[in-house]
Amino acid sequence: MRSLEPLQAPVDPVEALRRVGFLLERSRQHSRRVEAFRGAVKVLRGLDEGEVAQRVEAGTITELAGIGKSTAGVIEQAVRGELPAYLATQQEEHGGPLVEGGEDYVEALIGDCHLHSDWSDGGSPIDEMVLTAVELGQEWMVLTDHSPRLRVANGLTAARLVQQLELLERIDASLGDAFTLLSGIEVDILDDGGLDQTPEMLGRLDLVTASVHSKLKMAKEPMTRRMVAAVANPRVNVLGHCTGRLVTGSRGTRPQSEFDARAVFEACAEHDVAVEINSRPERCDPPDELIELALEIGCLFAVDSDAHAPGQLEMKAYGAERAQRLGVPLDRIITTWDAQRLRDWARPA
């Protein structure tokens, strides 16, 4: 994975708007600002060739629904061959490294096992997530939208998941050898350790990330049994954000769930399930001492972005810094493997 080089003039208006949206997402700015620029991209892509320049010349670009003062300024300056001032400011303020350290691991991370699209609670369509991943130098990604019980996140029923799989197949076929789009899910771990999707549907996916999203304050012993049961399910490949904690951010803080981490990680090692190092700054999950425990036990790891927008795909840099600082061997991080090795591991014959 690499950082994007700053755009220079001249720049296409759509690319200028995309990059502003990316930088706003990357710096975790308010979603309404992001939506304005992402929405303007959709508007411009729906216009006939040459209409943008004609409207800029005529001074009618803001007559289009979804184009406001800020987005119009970016479009007008880009059409005139200038680097839009708003874009230049965002690049200067938010275009640098997200974190110091972990550079070697960032470069080695070529995949992502946990990310979301607008099919569940993500903010962008699948093709925009893929395009941004390609621009960042990734080689593959696993789309892991939520499972049906998580209604607040618009989780996918089996029927909607079937539709998504058909779309993923078409998108992946269009990419050729340049990139691999893999099918997946972030499946809820139910109270008894079961999984919130049918075995038949889970069996159709390339990879399954399983996470606890409910009853996070469950007592230690039943929570341990719940997690061990999920990890023992042969359809599970990655244990997502295992403690459920929140350490910062707009949602406030939340203490980590209580469970026997040694028992859970020993089950992960026994059943060849990777422990996720969730890179979202508000999660930073698991904490360092649990990563060290999983490392001692012999677990595999997945450094994932848990991105809900294109600009968040680069958040893997936070997880990479932690993995490198804590001495996790690169070959034990499945997001450094090539797509075929990942497939063979996730679904052995």
| Residue 62 and residue 43 share a domain | yes
Contact criterion met (CB below 8 Å) for 286 and 323: no
Containing structural domain, residue 55: 13-94
Domain finish residue from 69, 94, 119: 94
* Per-residue pLDDT at 249: 79
CATH number at residue 264: 3.20.20.140
Taking each helix axis as running N to C, give the angle between helix 13-26 and helix 85-94, from 0 to 180 degrees, rounded to the nearest 10: 30
Q: Residue 120: pLDDT band by 50, 70, 90 thresholds?
A: very high
Percent over 90 (pLDDT), the chain: 94
Contact criterion met (CB below 8 Å) for 231 and 267: yes
| Residue 138 and residue 18 share a domain | no
Distance, in Å, from the CA atom of 303 to the CA atom of 319, rounded to the nearest integer, reads 6
Contact criterion met (CB below 8 Å) for 216 and 188: no
User: Which tokens is 70 given?
Assistant: 């800020």
Q: Is the pLDDT of residue 229 over 80?
A: yes
Domain finish residue from 94, 112, 128: 94
pLDDT, tens digit, 9 for 90 and up, residues 232-249: 999 999 999 999 999 997
Look at the block and give the residue holding tokens 């058909």.
166
pLDDT, tens digit, 9 for 90 and up, residues 91-110: 999 999 999 999 999 999 99
pLDDT, tens digit, 9 for 90 and up, residues 141-177: 999 999 999 988 899 999 999 999 999 999 999 999 9
Q: Residue 51: pLDDT band by 50, 70, 90 thresholds?
A: very high
| Residue 37 and residue 145 share a domain | no
Overall average pLDDT of the 49-71 stretch:
95
| Residue 137 and residue 280 share a domain | yes
The answer, as to whether pTM is greater than 0.75, is: yes
Asked if residue 58 belongs to a domain, the reply is: yes
Overall average pLDDT of the 74-88 stretch:
98
* Per-residue pLDDT at 252: 85
Domain count, the chain: 2
Asked if residue 1 belongs to a domain, the reply is: no
Q: Is the pLDDT of residue 349 over 80?
A: no
| Residue 175 and residue 69 share a domain | no
Q: Is the pLDDT of residue 347 over 90?
A: yes
| Residue 87 and residue 214 share a domain | no
Look at the block and give the residue holding tokens 């958040």.
315
| Residue 256 and residue 164 share a domain | yes
Average pLDDT, the chain: 96
The amino acid sitting at 37 is: F
Q: Is the pLDDT of residue 66 over 90?
A: yes
Asked if residue 324 belongs to a domain, the reply is: yes
pLDDT, tens digit, 9 for 90 and up, residues 24-50: 999 988 888 899 999 999 999 999 989
Overall average pLDDT of the 204-217 stretch:
97
| Residue 175 and residue 79 share a domain | no
User: Which tokens is 181 given?
Assistant: 């789009």
pLDDT, tens digit, 9 for 90 and up, residues 262-309: 999 999 999 999 999 999 999 999 999 999 999 999 999 999 999 999
Alpha carbon 14 to its chain centroid, in Å, reads 22
* Per-residue pLDDT at 201: 97
The amino acid sitting at 139 is: E
Asked if residue 125 belongs to a domain, the reply is: yes
Distance, in Å, from the CA atom of 110 to the CA atom of 177, rounded to the nearest integer, reads 14
| Residue 155 and residue 78 share a domain | no
Domain finish residue from 94, 119, 149: 94
| Residue 292 and residue 173 share a domain | yes
293 Cβ contact partners less than 8 Å away, ≥ 6 residues apart = 261, 262, 265
* Per-residue pLDDT at 13: 97
Q: Is the pLDDT of residue 209 over 80?
A: yes
* Per-residue pLDDT at 178: 87
Asked if residue 8 belongs to a domain, the reply is: no
Higher-confidence residue of 153 and 87: namely 87
* Per-residue pLDDT at 140: 98
CATH number at residue 41: 1.10.150
pLDDT, tens digit, 9 for 90 and up, residues 297-322: 999 999 999 999 999 999 999 999 99
Asked if residue 7 belongs to a domain, the reply is: no
Contact criterion met (CB below 8 Å) for 310 and 346: no
335 Cβ contact partners less than 8 Å away, ≥ 6 residues apart = 109, 110, 111, 112, 113, 302, 303, 304, 316
Q: What count of other Cβ atoms lies within 10 Å of the Cβ of residue 320?
A: 29
Contact criterion met (CB below 8 Å) for 343 and 208: no
Distance, in Å, from the CA atom of 257 to the CA atom of 246, rounded to the nearest integer, reads 11
Asked if residue 313 belongs to a domain, the reply is: yes
| Residue 168 and residue 133 share a domain | yes
Overall average pLDDT of the 106-130 stretch:
96
Look at the block and give the residue holding tokens 């049961």.
229
| Residue 37 and residue 180 share a domain | no
